[in-house]
Amino acid sequence: MTEERSSRAVWWIGGGLIALLLGLRFLPEVENPLEPEPKASFVALQADGEAVAADGEHRLDAGRSFRLFAVLEATDWRGRTVYFTEAPALRLGGETVPADLLRPWSGGRIARIRWFTIEGFAPYLEVATAADLDRFRLNENFHPEWGDGWSANGAIDPKLAFLEPGSALRPLPFGDQRFMVRVELFDDESALTPAARAASPGAEAHLAGALQATRAIAALPGRLATVSAAFGRTQIEATGPLATELQARISALEERELAFERTRLLAAHLAATGVAPAALAWTTVDLAASGRAWGAGEPGNVAEGDLVQAGARVALLFRDEGEVGRLDPADLAFDLWKGLRIRRLDQIFAGDDGVEVELAALGSVASTP
């Protein structure tokens, strides 16, 4: 009888433990000590051809594909820090996360991932006083089209990159984009609000400089590298002389690549192509009948990155889009007027200026492939 009672006791104890574990696992009204405790979230980016996903800044060639991975840092029931993610390998803050700390989500709660981009509030901001610059901010743009899973195909395509409706260039394969993720944990499918959540650095933290969002900067090769990477940033222009402190604040935004000033961006473009502003030779061209051919290397030809201006309007040649091989009004250019955009030359220089413009070729600098 003693052995029989002992056996029954073992079964009762075992059954009780199983029932307890099931209750902790599946009953939302019971505080589950085995449930991972969220601590922080991150966005990790893995570019095509790379083996490791990482947070921070990523410099990419235009059009290179990449994938975004949500990462939830949490404390497990043993008090150990673990990272829930679909990333095959992970680096955070420049440090490799040990593989044994990575795992797919295994908590009892339902995890839903919310994907965001962090972008400037407007394409263009005129500044005369400190109050004007105080308007500058970053927005968190929700992307439900990316789904609610733990990973998503990445995209640059900033909202501030203005293109004509229906443009074949959308989504834009180059520019500057910052990413944010919010991991929300729900007790069950019917729950209206999450029981817990953790978000990666957002707009306010990023603007304050305390925390940096994961970021992709994709640039075209060759002459257009500098300007193409600036798509998505707010253009800031002074309406007159600024106080030294105010100019310093604008310069700080430029250094952090959150904004740009037109003259400085053009100067950086010339510096990157090795052309001194004083060396530019401007010639008058009728876009409708210039007879100029596309392709660097031959005298009189035009190429990507050449400057076109009429009055205060300045643009950079981008693509031969009209008559093949010839400069004409249907060709595309980067327009630096109240926000970076891509437009046809006859849309940029329409009106009183007609199609007669000033053209400055950048000489023998190698053309974009």
Model confidence over 254-287: pLDDT tens digits?
999 999 999 999 999 999 999 998 889 999 999 8
Condensed to tens digits (0 to 9), the pLDDT of residues 282-292 reads 999 998 887 88
Condensed to tens digits (0 to 9), the pLDDT of residues 154-184 reads 999 888 777 776 778 888 899 999 999 999 9
pLDDT number for residue 263 = 94
Letter for the amino acid at 303?
A: A
Condensed to tens digits (0 to 9), the pLDDT of residues 128-137 reads 999 999 999 9
Considering the chain, what percentage of its residues have pLDDT values greater than 90?
A: 68
> Per-residue confidence at 356, pLDDT binned at 50, 70, 90?
confident
Give me the residue label for tokens 């439900």. Answer: 144
Contact between 332 and 187 (Cβ < 8 Å): no
pLDDT number for residue 223 = 94
Condensed to tens digits (0 to 9), the pLDDT of residues 73-118 reads 999 888 899 999 999 999 999 999 999 999 999 878 999 999 999 9
Report, as an integer, the average pLDDT of 247-255. Answer: 96
Write down the domain spans for the chain: 1-33, 37-224, 277-360
The reported pTM is: 0.85
> Per-residue confidence at 18, pLDDT binned at 50, 70, 90?
low
pLDDT number for residue 296 = 75
In this structure, of 19-28, 185-194, 303-312, the range with the lowest mean pLDDT score is 19-28
Considering the chain, what percentage of its residues have pLDDT values greater than 70?
A: 88
Exposed/middle/buried for 212, CB within 10 Å: 0-12, 13-18, 19+? middle
Number of other CB atoms surrounding residue 148 within 10 Å? 13
Distance CA 26, CA 224 (A): 56
Contacts of the segment 208-211: beta carbons below 8 A, 24+ positions apart: 209/256
Of the candidates 73, 60, 97, 55, the one whose C-alpha atom is nearest the C-alpha of residue 212 is 55
Alpha-helical regions (H) of the chain: 2-26, 130-134, 203-208, 225-228, 244-255, 262-273, 345-348
Contact between 75 and 36 (Cβ < 8 Å): yes
> Per-residue confidence at 28, pLDDT binned at 50, 70, 90?
very low
pLDDT number for residue 20 = 47
pLDDT number for residue 153 = 96
pLDDT number for residue 78 = 85
For all residues of the chain together, what is the average pLDDT?
87
| pLDDT higher than threshold 50 for residue 352 | no
